[in-house]
Structure 1
Amino acid sequence: MRIGYFLSSEEHPPEELVRQARLAADAGFEALWISDHYHPWNHEQGQSPFVWSVIGAVSQVCDLPITTAVTCPTVRIHPAVIAQAAATSARMCRGGFRLGVGSGEALNEHVTGSRWPTADVRLEMLEEAVGVIRRLLSGERVSHHGRHYTVEDARIFTLPDDPVEIPVSGFGPEAIALAARIGDGFVTTQPDQDALAAYREQGGTGPAMAGAKACWGPDRDQAQALAHRLWANAGVPGELAQVLPSPAHFEQASQLVTPEMVGETMPCGPDVEEHVTKLAAYAEAGFDELYVAQIGPDQDDFFRVYEAEVLPALRRSAT
């Protein structure tokens, strides 16, 4: 299992994300994910830089491959513009670039005033958008008049040498089926063996990749409390993550999530074995790639401990 670092655009300003990318490379992480948000999930997280600017800067400080996790190419930004951004990023990223996509959240996509569609329409839009993006990334001159998008006589002139892969996020049966049909890989955030099996059974190919949170720190109770303060939203159930429109709404919904619930789902504190055991669940479920995000400001100690202890043990357990 390839182990990468998950750059959290919701928590950190752009210059810090660039610094973390360099630290991740030095610590032995093999790749990078980066989240693509307009808003953070809550006000405690407090950041949300423009991902495409950050990718350009990261590409100049390390050679790790970068994947967006994930971009919504359907509402806030037209897929023709996303295609150009992906092409330029792939040209700049010396280690490679993948455009991870998904059907998005109202949290980020409502900002232009467009109606937030129902789930079935969002998946339909995503399929059409990916088709447009693939045509443009091939260098084709594109005119497209579809149900959701119009492209008039567009062509991308600055292209990468290699094709840009497009892995697709899948939560729920319909989204998993779409990911299997149109994606170059499968993206999720849980060690869900059943979801991965459904993806493979429906013809999905390419790597299965997942993102996970950790909160390394010298005191477990304090680390768990920090993880709860910043990321209780990760425990919000069902489709709320897709339909709630503001950080304030996520803060309200997160009142249902206790610190103990957060501590059960992610490793917190200084116990190396806890970090290895909880993260190894992704390898056991069959995932090919895992991207770990450290919660909070203590990034330097996290990278130090993961380089010396957690990554070697996790790689041994995943073989």
Structure 2
Amino acid sequence: MTAYGYHSSHEQIPPSRLLRHVVRAQEAGFDAAMCSDHLSPWLPEQGHSGYAFAWLGAALQATDLPFGMVTAPGQRTHPVTTAQALATLTEMAPGRFWAALGSGEAMNEHITGDPWPDHETRRRRLHECVEVIRALLAGEEVTHHGLITVDRARVWSLPAEPPALIAAAVSPESAAAHAGWADGLITVGSDPRAAAEVLAAYREAGGRGPARLQVHLALASTDDEALAMTRRHWRNAAVTAPDSWDLDTPEALADRAAGATDEQLRQAVIISSDPSIHRDRIAQLADVGFDAVMLHQVGADAADQEAFIDVFGERVLPELRGAE
């Protein structure tokens, strides 16, 4: 049976309120939760970006949900520090935590002052980071010299079982390239055909483990309000890779997203006031073969988040489960 999770959007919501939302999501019947590890929001007016690792300690304690995060080791966060954080969270919440590892975005990584590498270099750096993190989570002392450098590192507080390390990929090419090391896959999108292509590429390359899909949606009182919500809070969705990887400030991305059309927003976000339309679109995506669908309500206001959680808990999630 497909699991339906709540995406906790640090880029839009202060961490204290986000914690209340995820507790409410558990009470409403969501099966899981996830977040991303960013230093910056996508747009200046989103206005937040809490430290995901610290927040996850509180969220895992406050709920019984399994949690995941998307993070990018290798530049802003050294893989040894990443491994230590993953080990601590998993030791405190055995069997409830996974981490998706990606190659990152310049917006978050440029702060070190190091050059932003090209995509192929970032992919190779990620593979090195995965090898280092796995060895550290296995209790090994690690020294490594390559695109990253590690000198006699060891993580001392280890969980009984290491967390799953899954691949974060937005294209079939990336999904296939990461299949060899990943314990699972997470991708993002609202088009069943495109999502199916990413998943198929991962499986055909030998990719194992559960597959998750993150879906952006806008639920409001009217269709016009849902579209306006998307434009106000999540028009960054109209800026796709490689621009979304390479723009280095929220202001630069806001400039690029300024001309987003209604059609571009509708391609990236499920926009509707009708819960049944959301239900049907999500069911189509789940039918592609994803084990979990992680749902992100793009409206950042407290009332928007609470209405989404309550409507989905009362109606949409039971109907999705009843149809399986």
Specify the TM-score bucket, using the shorter chain as the normaliser.
over 0.9
- 8 Å contact kept, 1:100–1:168: yes
Q: Superposition pairs for residues 219-234 of structure 1, below 5 Å?
A: 219-234=222-237
Mapped partners of 1:51, 1:161: distance in 2: 23
Deviations 1:236-264 (A, max 9, x none): 13411110111111111112312343235
Three-state SS of the structure 1 residue aligned to 2:186 is strand
Mapped partners of 2:92, 2:17: distance in 1: 20
Mapped partners of 2:118, 2:172: distance in 1: 15
CA RMSD of aligned residues (A): 1.5
More displaced 10-residue stretch of structure 1: 275-284 or 262-271: 262-271
Mapped partners of 1:285, 1:9: distance in 2: 28
Mapped partners of 1:241, 1:110: distance in 2: 14
- 8 Å contact kept, 1:10–1:40: yes
- 8 Å contact kept, 1:179–1:185: no
Deviations 1:253-303 (A, max 9, x none): 112312343235433343111111221222122211110011221222211
Q: CA deviation at 1:304?
A: 1.2
Q: Look up the equivalent residue of 1:141 and give its one-letter code.
A: E
What's 2:168 paired with? 169
Mapped partners of 1:82, 1:314: distance in 2: 36
Three-state SS of the structure 1 residue aligned to 2:22 is helix
Q: CA deviation at 1:95?
A: 5.6
Q: Look up the equivalent residue of 1:232 and give its one-letter code.
A: R
- 8 Å contact kept, 1:10–1:37: yes
Q: CA deviation at 1:60?
A: 1.3
Deviations 1:171-222 (A, max 9, x none): 3344212221111111110241111111100100011111111222212211
Mapped partners of 1:209, 1:299: distance in 2: 22
Three-state SS of the structure 1 residue aligned to 2:45 is coil
What's 1:25 paired with? 26
Is residue 5 of structure 2 the alignment partner of residue 4 of structure 1?
yes
Q: Relative to 1, partners in 2 of residues 1:3 and 1:285: Cα closer, same or farther, differing over 3 Å?
A: same
Three-state SS of the structure 1 residue aligned to 2:165 is coil
Mapped partners of 2:177, 2:167: distance in 1: 8
Aligned with 1:200 (options 200, 203, 206): 203
Is residue 49 of structure 2 the alignment partner of residue 48 of structure 1?
yes
Three-state SS of the structure 1 residue aligned to 2:307 is helix
- Gap runs ≥5 in structure 2: none
- 8 Å contact kept, 1:127–1:178: no
Three-state SS of the structure 1 residue aligned to 2:77 is coil
Mapped partners of 1:280, 1:174: distance in 2: 25
- 8 Å contact kept, 2:11–2:49: yes
- 8 Å contact kept, 2:37–2:71: yes
Mapped partners of 1:52, 1:194: distance in 2: 31
Q: Superposition pairs for residues 135-146 of structure 1, below 5 Å?
A: 135-144=135-144, 146=145
What's 1:180 paired with? 179
Mapped partners of 2:176, 2:308: distance in 1: 36
What's 2:59 paired with? 58
What's 1:236 paired with? 239
Mapped partners of 1:182, 1:268: distance in 2: 35
Identity %: 39
Mapped partners of 2:102, 2:274: distance in 1: 34
Aligned with 1:248 (options 248, 251, 255): 251
| TM-score in terms of structure 1 length | 0.95
Q: Number of aligned pairs?
A: 316
Is residue 280 of structure 2 the alignment partner of residue 277 of structure 1?
yes
Q: Look up the equivalent residue of 1:63 and give its one-letter code.
A: D
Q: Look up the equivalent residue of 1:309 and give its one-letter code.
A: R
Is residue 322 of structure 2 the alignment partner of residue 312 of structure 1?
no
What's 1:148 paired with? 147
What's 1:14 paired with? 15
Mapped partners of 2:10, 2:44: distance in 1: 13
